[in-house]
Amino acid sequence: MPPYEPLRVAIVGCGNISGGYAKSLETKPEKVTILGATDVDPERTRAFVQTHGGASYPDLGAVLADPNVEAIINLTIHHAHAEVTCAALQAGKHVHSEKPLAGTLSEGRRCVELAERPGLRLSCSPFTFMGEALLIVWLFKLAIRGSRSPESHRTVSETPVSASQAVAS
């Protein structure tokens, strides 16, 4: 038995990718529990919940109002990512969003600013594939811009990076 309760999440956006996310999350029930889902198309919400369980939330507001939901997984259309992510962060929910985090740099910075409130976490795909490669490229860019000393070429795990630094790059 883990020393903690599983993270309680809700899926926002029940399109094609939601099934893959749900199947992956279902492999770790000791770490995460899907409490429910919502989509602008009620039929998609119904189908997702019928397959993966949980509550059928009528809209994003209902998800954000549920005190049991600790985090949302934002799988909406990419034009809605920043709006949904910011609303969830403002409601005090952690967020994992599918790519892109936002449509503009200013929207992305707003998401990051909201996530920097104490206790909130924000993550964004593609962490499952290409994520490490993209981070290495980003770190290489930092090394070129900054010091050329050997310390600027530290490994990923040795390099502390804040969310603001990631967006600024």
**Within this chain, do residues 138 and 89 fall inside the same structural domain, yes or no?**
no
pTM of the model: 0.74
Sequence-distant (6+) residues with CB within 8 A of 24 are none
The CB density around residue 21, as the number of other CB atoms within 10 Å, is 21
The CB density around residue 136, as the number of other CB atoms within 10 Å, is 12
Q: What is the pLDDT of residues 114-148, one digit of tens each?
A: 999 878 999 998 755 444 555 556 556 555 555 44
Residue with tokens 């309760």: 5
**Within this chain, do residues 14 and 88 fall inside the same structural domain, yes or no?**
yes
> For residue 1, is it within any domain?
no
> For residue 2, is it within any domain?
no
**Within this chain, do residues 38 and 59 fall inside the same structural domain, yes or no?**
yes
Number of domains in the chain: 2
State how far the Cα of 107 lies from the Cα of 10, in Å rounded to an integer.
Answer: 23
Q: According to the model, what pLDDT value does residue 138 have?
A: 53
